[in-house]
């Protein structure tokens, strides 16, 4: 956030005492000038020079807002104060304050304790504390909260010369979401609950990492953990994988439907349900979600009051290729084992024999069932930690309050998105995919109503290949993009959807029908959807547009990774441009690459080279980020699968910026021969063969100008 102009350049305190009010220790000489608060004092420059002056390094607006960002961040928006604090009368203390836009003014001077029990005090004003002075600038208000905290917030349409007058709401026809929320939620406790819920999800993630066996989850961190309310709506998450976090709620809703329709018995304490169905809340088959209900107390109750869930990408779930990421699958049955809300634990009991039989039923079967079961049990352990922490919170704070703040957290996110929509420009964009399909999106923003429609009409029909993205994936991308645009510290949750209408025609590429193959939709098409949305809003050129999915294995071992690349350049909400980042995971993925030592110890490969691909980012006034070069030598016969994009269609530039370079792939045989490899390929490699993957760069933003490098 840019530094805003100084609130106060020079502070001169000349306290005018009324009725013997206490004065701060640093106050200047007493004067009986009765100028009205907020108005110029009318004193001459000579008189001013004879007074004691206190020069201070004053805080900027951004510093004030950063202080309120941790505890009071949800209230840093633009709605007005609702009840003005009684302003000091002619007998109250005042002081002279120099403001850059007004010069010397007479303003109220209050002690901190005088604010308790009142409404809002509108600036300009001074609030004396034991160890300092709070300068309340015009356009800002202060309120003392029940716990003694001081809440500072901006006032919409405040007049710089006014003091004590409430500004009109930006939308007087209807109460703002913030005003509604303020009436019920204490902002300090709201922030505490924000962090408490997120901390529980993060603890779940640590437990999952520590107890899992596979490199995919333990080292690459390809998993996500989150909390949901009793209706299956996302409340809070850890900063894990965006494509998981925005779509897991659909899996919880699927579970609730199965119980309501009698396909599953009523949930009870100790239950855990596993699912990966892409047509009922899932993304693709390797991503298995484990959902655990939370009851109010160990004895349980009539129904769950919350849910915890974690989703992990498993190294192999069967299917036609090791690693379960087949580049040429044509139906869901070729991609691995399908789980539709299958009990993993029933009343705390795990039926291992039944699960081993289930894992062997895939065609081909799961190649490493022991590892998959170990990782599923790690997911159960992570959920159990979340259950215990939430039950402890409910016992300490009470169920009614916890449930209330579940709603407040979501309402706060909705209010933040609505504030974003007051200034957001709509637009449309089309992105072509390597296989010939296209994604068409139009974003229509109603600023007055503070709502938006995200319309994917015009997108290609579902494809015969595996680039189809389930509806849950499409929703996850929309959630991610709008959360990125919100300039406030809010958790990513279901509330962000409230002001948005998402239109996705059934049967299109982004809403496929069974039994369409979908394995690439989660990892490839999702990246293209994110690029299309940022392009439609005109804020960011395309990132690499692919996850560069590489998997290899044989009967002994299986491995999967996504390879980083360049991000697009763009412009922020303050109109400042930025260059793209090189060699990072972008948009819908956030996983790590396995440490070279772990990779070479656990698998028969050598990492020959891993370097930035210089010059692959698109040129522009702000250039795109560079991709990488990754060179792997294989030491055993294996099957290698490559599933990637942006090999034919480059990542687009924006506003005159140039596109990034396409990715390329080559296989260097042990005998020295070199073979070109398509973006989607299945290869049989022998010892000594090397696969070289060069990932795409991001698009540039803005036309090149003289002097640009």
- Position 305 scores a pLDDT of 96
pLDDT band at 570 (very low <50, low <70, confident <90, very high): very high
Residues 554 and 634 in one domain: yes
Count of CA atoms in the C-beta half-sphere (13 A) of 492 = 28
Mean pLDDT for the stretch of residues 129-143: 87
- Position 21 scores a pLDDT of 37
pLDDT over threshold 80, residue 82: no
- Position 28 scores a pLDDT of 35
- Position 103 scores a pLDDT of 84
- Position 492 scores a pLDDT of 85
3-class SS of residue 336: coil
pLDDT over threshold 60, residue 65: no
- Position 681 scores a pLDDT of 96
* 667-692 pLDDT per residue, tens: 999 999 999 999 999 999 999 999 99
* 163-216 pLDDT per residue, tens: 333 333 333 333 344 444 444 688 889 999 999 999 999 999 999 999 999 999
Residues 159 and 288 in one domain: no
Q: Indicate whether 451 belongs to any domain.
A: no
Mean pLDDT for the stretch of residues 357-383: 94
pLDDT over threshold 60, residue 76: no
Q: Indicate whether 457 belongs to any domain.
A: no
Percent of the chain, pLDDT > 70?
Answer: 81
Mean pLDDT for the stretch of residues 616-626: 97
Residues 132 and 244 in one domain: no
Percent of the chain, pLDDT > 90?
Answer: 67
Q: Indicate whether 631 belongs to any domain.
A: yes
Total domains present in the chain? 3
Structure tokens at 272: 């855990």
Residues 308 and 407 in one domain: yes
- Position 415 scores a pLDDT of 94
Choose among 217, 216, 239, 215: nearest CA to 226. 239
Assign 3-class secondary structure to 40-65: CCCCCHHHHHCCCCECCCCCEHHHHH
pLDDT over threshold 70, residue 40: no
Q: Indicate whether 490 belongs to any domain.
A: no
- Supply φ then ψ for residue 633, to 5 degrees: -105, 130
Residue by residue, DSSP assigns 448-500 as: TTTEEEEE-TTPPBPPSSS----HHHHHHHHHHHHHHH--S-----GGGGTTE
Residue by residue, DSSP assigns 247-275 as: THHHHHHHHHHHHHTTSSPPP-TT-EEEE
Strands of 133-136's sheet in order across: 94-99, 103-111, 125-128, 133-136
Residue pair 129/136 in contact by the 8 Å Cβ criterion? no
Choose among 318, 312, 279, 310: nearest CA to 292. 310
pLDDT band at 61 (very low <50, low <70, confident <90, very high): very low
Residues 157 and 216 in one domain: no
Q: Indicate whether 213 belongs to any domain.
A: yes
With residue 204 as reference, give the H or E element that holds it: helix 187-211
Q: Which of 414, 429, 462 is the last residue of a domain?
A: 414
- Position 111 scores a pLDDT of 87
Which residues span the domain enclosing 659?
Answer: 540-709
Mean pLDDT for the stretch of residues 42-50: 37
Q: State the Cα–Cα distance between residues 390 and 225, nearest whole angstrom.
A: 14
pLDDT over threshold 70, residue 17: no
Q: Indicate whether 601 belongs to any domain.
A: yes
* 654-669 pLDDT per residue, tens: 999 999 999 999 999 9
Q: Is 44 or 208 the better-scoring residue by pLDDT? A: 208
pLDDT over threshold 50, residue 45: no
Residues 148 and 208 in one domain: no
Residues 630 and 595 in one domain: yes
Q: State the Cα–Cα distance between residues 379 and 309, nearest whole angstrom.
A: 8
- Position 70 scores a pLDDT of 28
* 479-529 pLDDT per residue, tens: 999 999 998 888 889 999 999 999 999 999 999 999 999 999 999 999 999
pLDDT band at 132 (very low <50, low <70, confident <90, very high): confident
Residue pair 592/221 in contact by the 8 Å Cβ criterion? yes
Lowest-pLDDT range of 26-30, 178-182, 626-630: 26-30
Mean pLDDT for the stretch of residues 568-585: 94
Q: Which of 105, 140, 170 is the last residue of a domain?
A: 170
Structure tokens at 256: 């609730």
Beta-carbon contacts of 50 under 8 Å, excluding residues fewer than 6 positions away, are none
Q: State the Cα–Cα distance between residues 455 and 503, nearest whole angstrom.
A: 5
Q: State the Cα–Cα distance between residues 485 and 496, nearest whole angstrom.
A: 11
Q: Indicate whether 394 belongs to any domain.
A: yes
Residue pair 275/298 in contact by the 8 Å Cβ criterion? no
* 425-484 pLDDT per residue, tens: 999 999 999 999 999 999 999 999 999 999 999 999 999 999 999 999 999 999 999 999
Mean pLDDT for the stretch of residues 559-568: 96
Residues 160 and 213 in one domain: no
pLDDT band at 301 (very low <50, low <70, confident <90, very high): low
Residues 567 and 620 in one domain: yes
- Position 143 scores a pLDDT of 84
665: DSSP letter: E
Residues 111 and 7 in one domain: yes
Lowest-pLDDT range of 51-65, 336-350, 544-558: 51-65
Q: Could you give the angle at the alpha carbon of 531 between the alpha carbons of 460 and 434, nearest 5°?
A: 50
Cis peptide before 360 (omega within 30 of 0): no
Residues 6 and 73 in one domain: yes
Instruction: Decide: residue 457, CB within 10 A, 0-12 exposed, 13-18 middle, 19+ buried.
Output: exposed
Q: Indicate whether 181 belongs to any domain.
A: no
- Position 184 scores a pLDDT of 63
Which position has the token pair 């849910």? 307
Lowest-pLDDT range of 76-90, 271-285, 574-588: 76-90
Cis peptide before 148 (omega within 30 of 0): no
Strands of 295-361 (E only): list them: 306-313, 342-345
| Chain mean position to CA 345 | 31
Assign 3-class secondary structure to 103-150: EEEEEEEEEHHHHCCCCEEECCEEEECCCCEEEECCCEEEEECCCCCE
pLDDT over threshold 50, residue 417: yes
Residue pair 289/248 in contact by the 8 Å Cβ criterion? yes
Q: Which of 365, 383, 414 is the last residue of a domain?
A: 414
Which position has the token pair 């002075």? 133
Cis peptide before 305 (omega within 30 of 0): no
- Supply φ then ψ for residue 34, to 5 degrees: -105, 35
pLDDT over threshold 50, residue 42: no
Tell me the C-alpha to C-alpha distance, in Å, between residue 223 and each of 73, 214, 301, 369, 570.
28, 12, 30, 19, 29
pLDDT over threshold 80, residue 52: no
Mean pLDDT for the stretch of residues 386-408: 95
Q: Is 671 or 25 the better-scoring residue by pLDDT? A: 671
Q: Is 72 or 647 the better-scoring residue by pLDDT? A: 647
pLDDT band at 142 (very low <50, low <70, confident <90, very high): confident
Residues 197 and 113 in one domain: no
């Amino acid at each position: 956030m840019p530094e805003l102009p100084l609130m106060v350049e020079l502070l001169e305190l000349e306290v005018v005492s009324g009725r013997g009010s206490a004065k701060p220790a640093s106050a200047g000489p007493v004067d009986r000038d009765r100028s009205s608060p907020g108005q110029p004092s009318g004193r001459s420059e000579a008189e001013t020079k004879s007074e004691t002056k206190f020069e201070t390094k004053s805080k900027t607006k951004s510093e004030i807002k950063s202080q309120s960002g941790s505890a009071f961040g949800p209230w840093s928006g633009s709605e007005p104060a609702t009840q003005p604090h009684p302003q000091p009368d002619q007998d109250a203390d005042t002081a002279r304050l120099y403001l850059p836009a007004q010069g010397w003014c007479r303003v109220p001077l209050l002690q901190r304790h005088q604010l308790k029990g009142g409404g809002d005090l509108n600036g300009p004003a001074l609030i004396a504390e034991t160890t300092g002075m709070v300068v309340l600038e015009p356009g800002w208000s202060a309120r003392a909260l029940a716990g003694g905290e001081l809440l500072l917030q901006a006032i919409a349409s405040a007049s710089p010369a006014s003091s004590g007058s409430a500004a009109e709401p930006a939308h007087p026809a209807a109460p703002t979401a913030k005003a509604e929320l303020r009436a019920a939620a204490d902002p300090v406790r709201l922030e505490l609950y924000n962090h408490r819920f997120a901390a529980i999800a993060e603890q779940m993630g640590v437990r999952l990492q520590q107890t899992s066996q596979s490199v995919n989850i333990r080292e690459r961190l390809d998993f996500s953990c989150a909390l949901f309310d009793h209706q299956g709506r996302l409340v809070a998450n850890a900063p894990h994988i965006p494509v998981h976090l925005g779509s897991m709620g659909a899996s919880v809703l699927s579970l609730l439907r199965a119980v309501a329709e009698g396909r599953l018995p009523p949930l009870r304490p100790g239950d855990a349900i596993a699912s990966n169905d892409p047509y009922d809340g899932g993304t693709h088959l390797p991503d298995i979600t484990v959902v655990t209900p939370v009851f109010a107390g160990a004895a349980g109750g009539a129904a769950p009051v919350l849910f915890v869930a974690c989703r992990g990408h498993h190294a192999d779930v069967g299917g036609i290729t090791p690693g379960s990421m087949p580049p040429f699958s044509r139906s869901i049955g070729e991609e691995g084992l399908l789980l539709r809300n299958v009990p993993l634990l029933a009343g705390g009991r795990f039926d291992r024999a039944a699960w081993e039989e289930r894992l062997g039923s895939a065609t081909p079967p799961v190649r490493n069932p022991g590892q998959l079961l170990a990782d599923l049990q790690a997911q159960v352990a992570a959920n159990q930690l979340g259950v215990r922490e939430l039950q402890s919170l409910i016992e300490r704070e009470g169920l009614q309050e916890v449930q209330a703040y579940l709603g407040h957290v979501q309402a706060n996110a909705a209010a933040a998105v609505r504030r974003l929509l007051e200034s957001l420009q709509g637009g449309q964009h089309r992105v072509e995919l390597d296989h010939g399909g296209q994604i068409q999106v139009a974003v229509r923003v109603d600023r007055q109503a503070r709502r938006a429609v995200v319309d994917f009409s015009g997108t290609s029909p579902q494809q015969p290949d595996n680039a189809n993205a389930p509806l849950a994936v499409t929703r996850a991308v929309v959630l991610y993009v709008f959360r990125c645009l919100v300039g406030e510290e809010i958790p990513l949750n279901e509330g962000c959807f409230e002001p948005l209408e998402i239109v996705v025609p059934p049967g299109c590429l982004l809403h496929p029908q069974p039994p369409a193959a979908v394995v690439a939709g989660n990892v490839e098409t999702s990246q293209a959807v994110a690029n299309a949305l940022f392009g439609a809003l005109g804020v960011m050129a395309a990132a690499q547009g692919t996850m560069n999915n590489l998997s290899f294995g044989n009967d002994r071992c299986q491995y999967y990774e996504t390879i980083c690349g360049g991000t697009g350049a763009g412009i922020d909400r303050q109109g400042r441009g930025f260059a793209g980042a090189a060699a990072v995971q972008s948009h819908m993925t956030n996983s790590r690459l396995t440490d070279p030592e772990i990779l070479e110890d656990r698998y028969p490969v050598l990492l020959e080279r891993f370097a930035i691909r210089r010059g692959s980012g698109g040129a522009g006034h702000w250039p795109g980020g560079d991709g990488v070069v990754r060179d792997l030598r294989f030491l055993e016969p294996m099957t290698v699968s490559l599933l990637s994009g942006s090999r034919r269609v480059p990542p687009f530039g924006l506003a005159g910026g140039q596109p990034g370079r396409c990715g390329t792939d080559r296989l260097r045989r042990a005998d020295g021969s070199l073979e070109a490899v398509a973006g989607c390929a299945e290869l049989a490699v022998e010892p000594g063969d090397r696969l070289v993957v060069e990932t795409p760069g991001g698009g540039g933003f803005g036309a090149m100008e003289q002097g640009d490098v």
